[in-house]
A and B are shown apart, each in its own frame.
Chain A
C-alpha cells in the first residue's frame, strides 16, 4: 500500500494505482477528457493534470502512478489555470456550435467547459479543412474532433481493424482514415464502436431521420417499422426512463404516435432466421463429411463486412440466411403486402437498429429480393429514433404501453436474445435440438454460451448422439483471434456465432452513448429477462412464423425461402457509396 495526500487528505491506496484512480477511490474528482480506462491512457488532452509538491511541471493523473509520501493537489491555482487554458485551447479548434450538435447535452467537452465556467475563449478559432465522404453511413466531422485518439485505440485494440490513424504531423495533425485511404476504401466494418467511444460529436451515424419523417408525411406510403431486439434494452436510457419503464410496448406507442402505420418486431424475423439458419445447419450436419465447418452466423453485417475483407476465403462458410432485418424487409414487402392486399412498393420499411452497419446492409443491392425497391428502406439507430421522439416532443413517461401489431409483431424468447452475444447460437441450438430430436430441450439447456468474454466462449453439446462443438465471439479483435486459431488448426468447431460489437448488439454502435461506461452486459440482462418471462421460448413455436410457412413459404429452405430469405454473400458490394 502507498500512503499519500490528495488535497491535504491522507489516503492509502494499493501500489501501482494511478493518481486518477487514487483520487476517485477517495471521492475526489479529477476532470479528464481523452482518458478511457484500459484503452486510452495517453494523457493527450492534459485536462487531468495535477500538481505534485516539489515538482514544478504538472503531471497527468490518468497515466502516472502514486508514490509513497506524494502530496498531490488537484485544484491548486496553477492546476486551475493550466487546466482551463488547455480546455480553452481545445475549444479554439473545436466547432462549438453546440446547439446544432448531435451530442449536445451528452458531450464530455461541453461538460468540462461548463464545469470550469468557461464563458469566453481568448483564442482565435482555427478549424481544419478536411472533407469527409458524403453519404457514408459513418460520419466524421473534422471540425469537432479533439484528437483524443480514442477512436484509433478502440478500433486498434478492441476491434483490431486499424481503420483510424493519425494523419499529418505538427500543427496539422488530425485523426483520419489510416494509410491515406478514404473511408470507403478502408476495411471499416461499420461497427460504430468509434462513435460510441467518441467524447464529442466528431463521429456519428449518417442521419436518416428526415427520410423517415418524409415517409410518415406521405399519405401514399404504408409505413412499417421493425424494432431490433437490443433496442428495447436501451432506447429509454437517453429519454430518462428506467429500464423497467422503457419497454418495447412503450416504444411502440411512441412510434404509433409519430404516425407509423404498423409497428412490428425484428424478433419475428429473428425466429424466422432460426428456422432457416437452424435448418441449414441441420442439413449440413447430415452431410458432415462433405461440408465445410464451422458454419458461421450471418446476422451481423459488421461481421460480414469483416470476413469479406479480412478472410475472403471463408465467406462461403457463412450461413446463407439473411439477417433478421433483411428477412423482415423481404417478408414485409411480399407476404405482408399480400395480407394487406397492397402493392408492395407502397410499403415503406423502417428498421430501428442498435447498429450502424445495418444502414449499409439495407443498401446492399444483392439483398433486395421482394421486387419493390429496397427491402428495407431506411435504417435508424436507437439514437436516431430517440432523437425523433424528442423532436416530436413526445413525453414517453406518460405513454400507454401498446401491443405490437400482428402478425409480424409476434415473437419468442429465443428471438429477443439475439440482441446479446451468444443469443443467436442459443436460439439456434434450441430449435436444432427440436429438429433433430423431435422434442424440445430444456429452454436453458444451452445457456453456457451466454456472456461476454475476453477471447471467445466455447461449449460442447450432444444432440441425438452427435457431439457439437460451438464457439461464440463478440468484438472483432476477439473474432480475429478465434479465426486465426481456427485457421491454425488448434481448434475446430461446428457452429460459430460472431457479433462485431463487444457484448453483441446490446453494446452496438448505434446504441445510446454513455461516456466511459460499457453497458452491454446490463442491457443483455434485460433481454435474458424478457426471454425468461416469455411463454414461447422456441422459435419453431412462434405461431406467426408457423403460419407464415403454412401460408407462404411452405417450409424452411423452400424455393420461396431461398429467394426471399437467403443470399449469396459473395455478391455483396462492400462500398456503401456504390450501393446507393
Chain B
C-alpha cells in the first residue's frame, strides 16, 4: 500500500459526472408550465439520493417528504397533509447535520410558501393549476412572440426574404433586433438538453444581411381613423407600422431631430449601424406615416389636444432622463450623464475624449456602451466603476467581455462617494468606497462598506450611467396617471380610465429591452385597432418548411466573433462579424423544431395570425 495515492475516476463516476452536466443543461432548458409540486418531489428525490445515510432527518425524513408530496399528487392527502409536510420539512431543516439534508428540506419549505395554492388545488380538486401549456420555449420567451422555429427553418433553406417576412408578422424591426436584441429566446432553448442553445440572434442577422429588400405587406383599406403616436422609439414605430398597415392614419410626434429613440440616442453605431437603422425606419414608415420631429408633447402640444384631434393616442416616450446619484461633486465640470453623451453621439456630435481618463459609473449596457465609445474616441482609459461584483452586472456578458478586451477596466465592488475637482474646478478624481459582498437578500447579495479606506480613481471625465427615468410630469399634469414614476397602463397597454389612450414601452416599465418595447407596440396596435372598432388580422403567407427528419447529434454552437481589437477600437463601424454561410447552415440545422416535435404539434406550436 502506498502512503498516498492520486484519486482517479472510475467509469461509473465519470458517467455520473457526465449525467450531472446533462442535468444542468436540462434544467436550463426546463420549460415553463410544469407542476411545481411534481418538480419538488423530483428535486427531493434527487437530494435523497445524495444523502450519505448517516443522519435520521435526511436519511428518513426526505423519503417521508417524498411520500407525503406523492399523497398530495395522487389524491390521498387532506389539507392537514400540508401541515405535516411543513412540520417535517422544518424539522429536517433545523436538525440535519449538513446542507444535503437541510437545503433539501428548505426547498420544500420554499415550495409551501411559494405555491401553497397549488397544494390546495391538488388536494381539493385533484388538479394542478391550469392553463399553462408547455410552449415552444423560444417563442414563448420572445416578448413579441416571433415565429423563431419558422424563420430558422427558412434560413436553413436559404429563404432569407421569407424569413424576414415571417419575422415582420410579429416584429417589424428584424434588422434592429438582428444586431441588438438581448435574445431572451435563447435562454431556455431545448437544444440545451443536447448541447447548447441555438444562436438565434446570429441567425436572424444572417437572414437580415442576406435578404433582398423585403417590402411591407400590402396596406389594408383605409379606415379614416387617425392615431397619434408620441415617441419614435421601437415601441412607437412598431405601433405606427401595424396601425398604418391596418389602414389607419398614423402621425408620429418625436421630440428629437431624428427617429429611432434609444436605438439612435442610446445604442452606439458600432453595435447598430446607422444606415441599417435608417433603412429599417424608412421601410417601417413607408405606408405613409406622418412624422413631426422636434415636437415635444407636453410643451409644444398637449396630450389633451392630441386626444381631441385623434381617435386614439399611443404614448411611447421611453425612459429618457438621467438619474442623479446624489453624491458630492456631481455638478462639477466634467461630470456628464450617459444619456446626454449617447444622445449627442446619436446626432453625430462626438465628445472630445481624446487622451482623457474616463470613469463610467454603472454596470448596465448603457455603461458599457459609453465605455466602449470612450475607447473609440481615443480616451486614455475607460474605467467602469461598479458597486457590485462583475458577475452581478446586468449588462450582457458578451458586451462586458468585449469592453474588457478593448481595454476597459472594471472596478468592481467600488461605490462612488464623491467627485473631486482640481483648481480649475474640473474633475480630478472619483472617490470610491470599497465594498464587501454580504448576505443574500431577495436572491441578490447585498453590498456593504468594507473596512477599507476610500480609493481615489484619477479621471478627467465622469459619466453617470446608473439608469434612466421617465419624463412623465407633463403627462401627469394633463391627467395621465403616473405611479412610481412610470405611466400607469394595463397589460393591454390601455391607460386606466382613459378610453382611447394607450401607453407602452420603457415609459410604463422603466428602462427595458428593445424587444419588449416592440412587443408593447404590437400589443398596443392590436388593442387600439379593436378600440377603433376593427379586428384587422395580421398574418403571413409564408409557408414553413417541413422539419428535417434527421437525428440531432451533439454539435457545438456557432458564436459571434468581433473584428480584431486594434482595428475596431479606432472607429464606430460595426464591431460584430457575421456568420459565414457555412456556419449559418450548420447552426440553423441544429434547431430541434419544437413547433413540430413535442407539445408544439398539439397546442401552441404556431400562432399564425393575431
Known: A130-B126, A170-B34. A64 touches B549 (CB 8 A): yes
Asked if A170 and B121 make an inter-chain contact with CB atoms under 8 angstroms apart, the answer reads no
Answer whether residue B610 sits at the interface, using C-beta atoms and an 8 A cutoff.
no
Known: A169-B33, A169-B34, A172-B38. A180 touches B130 (CB 8 A): yes
Nearest opposing residue in chain A for B34, CB measure: A169
Answer whether residue A89 sits at the interface, using C-beta atoms and an 8 A cutoff.
no
Answer whether residue B418 sits at the interface, using C-beta atoms and an 8 A cutoff.
no
Answer whether residue B131 sits at the interface, using C-beta atoms and an 8 A cutoff.
yes
Nearest opposing residue in chain A for B39, CB measure: A170
Asked if A165 and B130 make an inter-chain contact with CB atoms under 8 angstroms apart, the answer reads yes
Known: A63-B601, A169-B34, A169-B38. A52 touches B549 (CB 8 A): yes
Known: A42-B601, A131-B126, A179-B131. A172 touches B550 (CB 8 A): no
Nearest opposing residue in chain B for A15, CB measure: B546
Nearest opposing residue in chain A for B36, CB measure: A169
Q: Which of A16, A42, A67, A149 has the most CB of B within 10 A?
A: A42
Asked if A129 and B550 make an inter-chain contact with CB atoms under 8 angstroms apart, the answer reads no
A349 to chain B, nearest CB (A): 38
A62 to chain B, nearest CB (A): 10
Which chain B residues lie closer than 8 Å to A169 at the CB level? Answer: 33-35, 38, 128, 134
Interface of A, helix, strand, loop or mixed by DSSP: loop
What sequence of 0s and 1s flags, for each residue 45-82 of chain A, a beta carbon within 8 Å of any chain B beta carbon?
A: 00000001001110100011101001000000000000
Partner of B121, one of A64, A129, A165, A180: A180
Answer whether residue A178 sits at the interface, using C-beta atoms and an 8 A cutoff.
yes
A52, B127: Cα distance in complex, Å: 40
Answer whether residue A41 sits at the interface, using C-beta atoms and an 8 A cutoff.
yes
What sequence of 0s and 1s flags, for each residue 127-143 of chain B, a beta carbon within 8 Å of any chain A beta carbon?
A: 11111011000000000
Answer whether residue B73 sits at the interface, using C-beta atoms and an 8 A cutoff.
yes
Answer whether residue A44 sits at the interface, using C-beta atoms and an 8 A cutoff.
yes
Asked if A180 and B602 make an inter-chain contact with CB atoms under 8 angstroms apart, the answer reads no
Which chain B residues lie closer than 8 Å to A166 at the CB level? Answer: 133
Partner of A67, one of B38, B130, B549: B549
A52, B551: Cα distance in complex, Å: 11
Answer whether residue B75 sits at the interface, using C-beta atoms and an 8 A cutoff.
yes
Nearest opposing residue in chain A for B132, CB measure: A169
A423, B35: Cα distance in complex, Å: 49
Known: A65-B546, A129-B75, A172-B35. A167 touches B127 (CB 8 A): yes
B602 to chain A, nearest CB (A): 4
Answer whether residue B74 sits at the interface, using C-beta atoms and an 8 A cutoff.
yes
Known: A64-B546, A169-B134, A170-B38. A129 touches B551 (CB 8 A): no
Answer whether residue A43 sits at the interface, using C-beta atoms and an 8 A cutoff.
yes
Nearest opposing residue in chain A for B600, CB measure: A42
A503, B38: Cα distance in complex, Å: 43
Answer whether residue A276 sits at the interface, using C-beta atoms and an 8 A cutoff.
no
Answer whether residue A361 sits at the interface, using C-beta atoms and an 8 A cutoff.
no
Q: List which A140-192 residues lie within 8 A (CB) of chain B.
A: 149, 165-172, 176, 178-180
- Inter-chain pairs besides A57-B551, A167-B127, 8 sampled, C-beta below 8 Å: A63-B596, A64-B546, A168-B38, A169-B34, A169-B134, A170-B35, A178-B130, A180-B125
List residues of A whose CB falls within 8 A of some B CB: 16, 41-44, 52, 55-57, 59, 63-65, 67, 70, 129-131, 149, 165-172, 176, 178-180
List residues of B whose CB falls within 8 A of some A CB: 33-35, 38, 73-75, 121, 125-131, 133-134, 546-547, 549-551, 596, 601-602
- Can you pick out 26 interface pairs between chain A and chain B where the beta carbons lie within 8 Å of each other? A16-B546, A41-B601, A42-B601, A52-B549, A55-B549, A56-B551, A57-B551, A59-B549, A64-B546, A64-B549, A129-B74, A166-B133, A167-B128, A167-B130, A168-B73, A168-B127, A168-B128, A169-B38, A170-B34, A172-B38, A176-B127, A179-B130, A179-B131, A180-B121, A180-B125, A180-B127
Q: Which 9 A-B pairs have the closest CB atoms?
A: A42-B602, A170-B38, A169-B35, A168-B128, A180-B127, A129-B75, A180-B130, A56-B551, A169-B34
